Amino acid sequence: MAGPMKMRATLSGGVTDVRVLMTHPMETGQRKDPDGKLVPLHFIQNVTLKVNGKTVVESQISQGISRNPVFTFRIKGGAKGDRIEVSWIDNHGETNQTETAVA
């Protein structure tokens, strides 16, 4: 089960700032564990941002993104109460998602 995800969407000056935090090891496949074995490649590949059900940002990322990724996106306009949804899927097919309302 994926670790916690946290998101905040704040409207200010006609722009909604969406900051989303994800728990994920983002393993590059180059790191060795304490026993000296290589930890396999394990990273988020796609992140989707939706506003009221409509996709507005599609992200493709690699293992070059830091562990426990944090992204900030900006949406034009938006209104308090708009539903913001972010989901991700990794190279193992594992997924997670979170939802929040614009504050």
Partner 1 sequence: MRSKVTPGDQSPLKNRPNASPVVSGPQPVNGLAAIVLKPFAALAATWNKDGFGAKTAADALKTLGASNPVASRDVVIEAPQIAENGAVVPIEITSNVPGTTSIAVLIDKNPFPLVGKFDFMEGALPFVKLNAKVGETSEVRVVAEALGKHYVATQEIKVTIGGCGG
Partner 2 sequence: MKKLFGFCVLLGGAFCASLPAQDAKKEIQRYREMVAEGSPAELFEVEGEALWKKPQGPHKVSLEKCDLSLGAGVVKGAYARLPRYFKDADRVMDLETRLLHCMGTLQGRKREEAAARVFGSADRPSEMESLSAYIAAQSRGMKMAPGLSHPKEKEAYAMGRAVYFHRAGAWDFSCASCHGEEGKRIRMQDLPVLYKPEHARPVVSTWPAYRVSTSQFITLQWRMNNCYQQMRMPEPDFGSDTTVALILFLTATGKGEPYRGPGTKR
Residues that bind partner 2 (CB under 8 A): 3-6, 19, 21-23, 25, 67-68, 70, 72
| Least spacing, CB of residue 98 vs partner 1, in Å | 12
Distance, in Å, from the CA atom of 20 to the CA atom of 96, rounded to the nearest integer, reads 12
Judged by beta carbon, residue 19 or residue 83, the one nearer partner 2 is 19
Distance, in Å, from the CA atom of 9 to the CA atom of 18, rounded to the nearest integer, reads 4
CB 73 within 8 A of CB 47: no
Q: Does 100 bind partner 1 (CB under 8 A)?
A: no
Q: Which of the listed partners (partner 1, partner 2, none) does 61 bind, with a CB threshold of 5 to 8 Å by partner kind?
A: partner 1
Q: How many CB atoms lie within 10 A of CB 43?
A: 20
Q: Which of the listed partners (partner 2, partner 1, none) does 21 bind, with a CB threshold of 5 to 8 Å by partner kind?
A: partner 2
| Least spacing, CB of residue 34 vs partner 2, in Å | 9
First to last CA, the chain: 28
